[in-house]
Chain A
Amino acid sequence: MIGLVVVTSMPAIETDGLTKRFGADVLAVDDLDLTVEEGEVFGFLGPNGAGKSTTINVLLDFVRPTAGSARVLGLDAQADAAAIRERIGVLPEGGELYDRLTGREHLEWIARTNDLQESVDYEATLDRVGLTAEEAARPVGGYSKGMAQRLAFGMAILGEPDLLLLDEPSSGLDPTGMQEMRTIIREEADRGATVFFSSHILGEVESVCDRLGIMNEGRLVTTGTIDALRDELDLDASVSIEVDAVPDGLAADIESNEGVHAVETDGTTLTISVANPTRKIDAIRRVDERATVLDVRSTDTSLEQLFNTYTGNGEGEPEPSAAGFAGDETAETAAEVGR
């Protein structure tokens, strides 16, 4: 690969006011400013039609921006497209492979176009993505969806690229396949690669990303680490405690404690919302002093809730009580999303 002088602090991906319209009415990406640092695993999250693929397609020079610009590995996405592609591995969205070529021929062809024939180990790559040598010898036309996705993933990671751009890498994979894919993403990050991948599967993002960005209706509504996003939103953590019987005044008593937002009683179950997860154990102790605890269920702000909040999906909207704690910035963001 090309021996470019790499400035250490250069972002792997940087878009500046990136805007893409299709025709007159579709605004797929709206003034996007996104920075992904080198070595990061960045999850790019958003509901269907948010503009994730369009953004990735601009980075790959498949579509041209209406306004703004994008840089990949310090190079201009349009002017230096070929140079960029020498250094990246790509898993595009919705691309069929070549039915008449075998799996192995696909890998050989990627190696050839990248001048890697000498250095790559096909067997090891096939093994990593979970394809056997026999499967790799068959034409891809006969592959199952997941097998094709595994092969495509293998093509992306072949030759240790500096940056992986993966558009919904988990689509079509079974749970084991998804787990394997996450492991590989982590391994790639550990060897120093930057990984940028899109998804609407939240669990995937949570377990593997250093940072994530949430996109909705063409706009980047937030970026940050999962913990930071959680804090920023100040969503409740809550714990449900089932007791034999709820003594009088317990709910009010608990509610008066510091860090407790609300207590709801439903039959013999108390649901206690706390400001942060460390307060849960306190709440459980206090209940335990006054009643016999039969069962405890704890829920964190699920990523789902986070996601729904940002994408204005209704269900996960923070409780009014929590919204009161939210800073102006968050409130603004939420309002923007709700439009």
Chain B
Amino acid sequence: MSVADVVSKDILDVRRAKIIWAVAGLYTLVTAVFVYWGTQARPPEGWSGVYMALWNFVFVGAMFVPAIALVGAYLAIAGERESGSIKYLLSTPIQRRDVVLGKYVSRATVVAASLVVAFVVAAILSLVWFSEFPAGVFVGLALLTIAFALAYVAVAITISAATATRSRAMGGVLGFYFVTNLLILFGQLSILGALEYVLNELLGLGVGDDPIQLVGMLVSPTHTYLNTTLLAFPDGFEEAMLGGQTTATAWYVEPEAALVILLAWTVVPLALGVWRFERADLG
């Protein structure tokens, strides 16, 4: 199986690269800091501090996990194209599709493994620092965060498959990170804020919040991820955190729909990456 050949070689290769371990180590450290911070913060009435820690952890993840995923994968193919080693790779019976999928699997494995390490560290610290340990919430969040990371790995692999040099791949992932992450996470400045302003304030269309949320999920895996995390928290916690102001939402912005969109954020980019790479000139 050629995909497996790509995976085994690539894992052998990247696990000797230091950058991946540096970023993953940093993430683990930040996670630990936030778990500690949860012990100091004041949780809402009737909830343990551990939920606070996990809630904050989601936001740390929303910023950091894409960075880990993008750094871990953006050179996977473009780097080989620039150095020319892709010619050795493709001198074997391996097909181009296998290269894209194999690189995805290998980088996804490495990124997921480093997230698992961070989660295990966070779990151990929670056991030590908090009286309560909500294992279900922990595991749920871990799975969602990994799915989130894998979507960004898919995007990075696709950008990598569509660019011929390291610098272009880097430009591509930086641009994507900026637009889908930083511009989404920061409230009034965000793309969605701008969209709402244009549609409703300037054009007076009176578009509801739900369609705008949907657009958010379609342009940003990060936005999608944040919506899915409600699946992991116990009922009522979100209301407690946000001061009891949740409103009924359309089915297409329910967390379940968000999960489907999150998975699509892996499948669609990868399909696009395979399509692009199969047509590329590698001369």
Contacts and interface: CB of A to CB of B under 8 A. Distances in A.
B88 A114 contact: no
A299 B283 CA distance: 40
Given A53-B283, A97-B85, A81 B95 contact: yes
Given A60-B90, A106-B88, 15 more contacts: A22-B281, A53-B283, A63-B282, A82-B93, A83-B93, A92-B87, A92-B88, A97-B85, A97-B88, A98-B88, A100-B13, A101-B13, A112-B5, A113-B92, A113-B94
Contacts of B8: 112
B91 interface: yes
B63 interface: no
B190 interface: no
Interface of A: 22, 53-54, 57, 60-64, 81-83, 85-86, 88, 90, 92-98, 100-101, 105-106, 109-110, 112-114, 152, 155
Given A60-B90, A81-B95, A95-B88, A54 B5 contact: no
Contact of A64 (B2, B84, B92, B281): B281
Interface string B71-108: 00000000000011111101111110000000000000
Contacts of A22: 281, 283
A63 B279 CA distance: 9
A113 B5 contact: yes
25 contacts: A53-B283, A57-B282, A60-B87, A61-B90, A62-B87, A62-B282, A63-B282, A81-B95, A90-B88, A92-B87, A92-B91, A93-B87, A94-B84, A94-B87, A95-B83, A95-B87, A96-B85, A100-B17, A101-B9, A101-B12, A101-B13, A110-B92, A113-B2, A113-B5, A113-B92
B88 A82 contact: no
B133 to A, nearest CB: 40
Nearest to A109: B9
A59 to B, nearest CB: 11
A86 B93 contact: yes
Nearest to B82: A96
Nearest to B15: A100
B85 to A, nearest CB: 5
Contacts of A54: 283
A137 B205 CA distance: 68
B5 A109 contact: yes
Contacts of A112: 5, 8
Contacts of A101: 9, 12-13
Contact of B83 (A82, A93, A96): A96
B85 A98 contact: yes
A125 to B, nearest CB: 16
Nearest to A111: B92
A112 B282 CA distance: 23
Q: Which of A64, A82, A85, A113 has the most CB of B within 10 A?
A: A113
A85 B84 CA distance: 18
A114 B281 contact: no
B98 to A, nearest CB: 9
B17 to A, nearest CB: 7
Given A64-B281, A100-B16, A113-B5, A85 B83 contact: no
The 7 residue pairs across chains A and B that have the minimum distance between CB atoms = A95-B84, A90-B91, A92-B87, A113-B92, A95-B87, A96-B83, A100-B16
A85 B91 contact: yes
Contacts of B88: 90, 92, 95, 97-98, 106, 152, 155
A106 B12 CA distance: 11
A110 B16 CA distance: 20
Given A81-B95, A100-B17, A62 B90 contact: yes
Interface in B1-22: 2, 5, 8-9, 12-13, 16-17
